[in-house]
Amino acid sequence: MEPEKPSFFSTRFIRFLGGKNLLFGLVTLLFLGCILFIYQKVSFIFYPIIVFLQTVVLPVILATIAYYLLRPILRILEKWKIPRVWGILIIYLGLAGLITLLVILVFPFLKGQFTNLINEFPQYFMEMLHSIQTFVQGSTFNSYLTKFDFNLDKAIGDLTKDLSETVKNTVGKLSSGIATGITGLISTLTGILLALVTVPFILFYLLKDGEKLPKFVLGMFPPRMRDDVAHLFKQADRQISSYIQGQIIVSFCIGVMITIGFLIIGMDYALVLGVLAMVTSVVPYLGPIIAITPAAIIAIVTSPFMLVKLAVVWTVVQLIEGKFISPQVMGKSLHVHPITIIFVLLTAGSLFGVPGVVLGIPGYAVIKVLVSHLFYLYKKRYNRHEPDPALAYKVEDWKDE
């Protein structure tokens, strides 16, 4: 009996890539490409599905964020032997009371400060430019500017004119857009209102049955894959939960510290600037830059010493947040390099706007979990087809992570 001749699919490299499964995978990719090509030609058929998804995405995202924030409280209530449904009702009553107190006590004062800041901010900006102009003209920099034939007065005038024209054009476009597209505006506002109304209902069922959803989805996968999929679910849930809860707590602490610090140094609009810092701190690295800009303009106009006090407060807050609060609250759960975070924020912002900036980091964390696990499976497969142990990967058990 003659020995079987080695075929193309029996070589070690092809067996590593999957053997005949490789051919099946390539045919599948070709088939998917044909489907995408056909979809481009008949995409109008799926327009109702796209509209449905666009309508559902906002309330689902808001409800998911609220779910991860409220789930720890619900688990504490369950440890106290309170049934889950009653625990959800207690949480809802507590949220309703908290929102009512904020609306009655805080919102009117905050609204007044915010309105005054918006009205007076152009004056602050012009006074800052005038202060810079006076400082430069009375310093040694003026001789250098004269040497290079740089007219500071003309530059500031051009900047002011460009900003004025930009504001006028923006207001004009908005007015024109509202006048001509009032139906679209009403439709958008209606969609946002419906999303906010449906969030409590989606959140209720997430809190009630959210623990069962991964088990239900897991049952749809083949038994051989369930351990891997369960691990992915667990890691993704931990990444999203730690990021959302940690980022909200850190942002709240930053807002409180900024407000207290600004009140101590006598900064105008301390509460509004603290709330702005709290909201923008949700976006890592870029948020603090946005928050400090109006505070710095107000400080420059107030007095040079106020700018120094602002710098001291901001430095102390950033040190406390970076050295004590963030390590204790968020730890090292994401393992994302700062440069990577900046690139993710810029890319997500360019693709999806403000929602992309807010959701880019948790989305990247979930993708990183998936890619890391696929790389783990790749290393195990490589080791099975590598006869030399010295050339094998060092693979740690992902179940111990």
Q: What are the DSSP calls for 165-222, one per residue? A: HHHHHHHHHHHHHHHH-HHHHHHHHHHHHHHHHHHHHHHHHHHHHTTTHHHHHHTTS-
For residues 314-337, average pLDDT: 74
Given a cut of 90, is residue 358 above it in pLDDT?
no
Higher pLDDT, 188 or 387: 387
Q: What angle do CA 366, 369, 372 make, to 5 degrees?
A: 145
Q: Beta-carbon neighbour count of residue 258 at 10 Å?
A: 27
* 111, burial (CB in 10 Å: exposed 0-12, middle 13-18, buried 19+): exposed
Q: Beta-carbon neighbour count of residue 277 at 10 Å?
A: 26
For residues 182-210, average pLDDT: 74
Given a cut of 90, is residue 298 above it in pLDDT?
no
pLDDT digits (tens, 9 = 90+) for 141-156: 666 666 665 555 666 6
* 338, burial (CB in 10 Å: exposed 0-12, middle 13-18, buried 19+): exposed
CA 243 to each of CA 99, 359, 365: distance values in angstroms, whole numbers, following the listed order? 24, 10, 9
Given a cut of 80, is residue 281 above it in pLDDT?
yes
pLDDT at 180: 47
pLDDT band of residue 159 (cuts 50, 70, 90) is low
pLDDT digits (tens, 9 = 90+) for 178-193: 444 455 546 566 666 7
Handedness of CA 111, 116, 119, 120 (dihedral sign): negative
Given a cut of 90, is residue 90 above it in pLDDT?
yes
Q: Say which residue the tokens 């504490």 belong to.
A: 76
For residues 43-72, average pLDDT: 82
Q: Say which residue the tokens 């449906």 belong to.
A: 198
CA 270 to each of CA 47, 125, 292: distance values in angstroms, whole numbers, following the listed order? 48, 18, 12
pLDDT at 400: 46
Given a cut of 70, is residue 24 above it in pLDDT?
yes
Most confident of the ranges 24-33, 106-115, 320-329, 349-358: 24-33
Most confident of the ranges 66-70, 128-132, 163-167, 229-233: 66-70
The whole-chain average pLDDT of the chain stands at: 77
Higher pLDDT, 129 or 66: 66
- In which element (H, E) is residue 2 found? none
Q: How many whole angstroms separate alpha carbon 80 and alpha carbon 24?
A: 54
Domain map (residue ranges) of the chain: 212-401
In the chain, what's the furthest Cα-to-Cα distance? 102
Helix axes 286-302, 304-320, angle to 10 degrees: 150
Q: Which of 186-195, 220-229, 232-241, 251-260 has the lowest mean pLDDT?
A: 186-195
